[in-house]
Amino acid sequence: MHQGGGRPGGAFRGGAQATPAISLSRHYLKDGYFDAHGHLRPDLLTTKERPSLNMDQGAATDLDRALHALKFGPIRNAYNESGIKTAQLRKFYNQAKQLESRLRGGQAIGDVTAGLLRLEESAAYAVGREVACEALVDFMRLNIREARRSEKHVLQGFIPHFEAVVAYTTYYWGDKEGRR
């Protein structure tokens, strides 16, 4: 088994040593989007504190876990970068909002399922092009799995959670590192 969680050999193309893979923890979305009463779980929309590299995954909210993985997950390229750029994350969010509009316009969940799956496919493409971290694929895969369950899961679960991820990514890191 290779090390580094990405490409065989454990190092980036530029010869820099690979950092350990950071992905979404096993705790992320384990309880789905909704509580026992069918309400959106608050920890999908709130953070306890600004996620850091050594964040305690067990005590974190699901929003914290997503932010952590998307920010600190390594990008497998020669520059030893990590995380996803806010603008790139917003592109994925805009695609999700288009799917939301289709659902609100009367299309059935089955009619937008292919679009949901394309979000995961696009994430994999971005990782393959070495412009996004592998955690983006994990984030999309886990959220698409939940969102495909029903229209409610898309409109009242996935979209608000994704919006919170984009909002807090912008708030904490914006276009410049270490903003807050």
Q: What's the pLDDT tens digit per position in 101-126?
A: 999 999 999 999 999 999 999 999 99
What's the farthest any 2 CA atoms get from each other in the chain?
A: 52
Q: Considering the domain boundaries, does residue 37 fall inside one?
A: no
Q: CA 61 → CA 20, 25, 50, 51, 102, distances in Å?
A: 22, 11, 11, 10, 30
Q: Considering the domain boundaries, does residue 18 fall inside one?
A: no
pLDDT in tens, 154-175: 999 999 999 999 999 999 988 6
Q: Considering the domain boundaries, does residue 109 fall inside one?
A: yes
Q: Considering the domain boundaries, does residue 85 fall inside one?
A: yes
Which of 3-7, 95-99, 142-146 is predicted with the least confidence, judged by mean pLDDT? Answer: 3-7
Domain region containing 120? 42-173
pLDDT, mean of residues 128-141: 90
pTM of the predicted structure, to 2 decimals: 0.83
CA of residue 16 relative to chain centroid, distance:
26
Checking if the pLDDT of 132 tops 90, the result is no
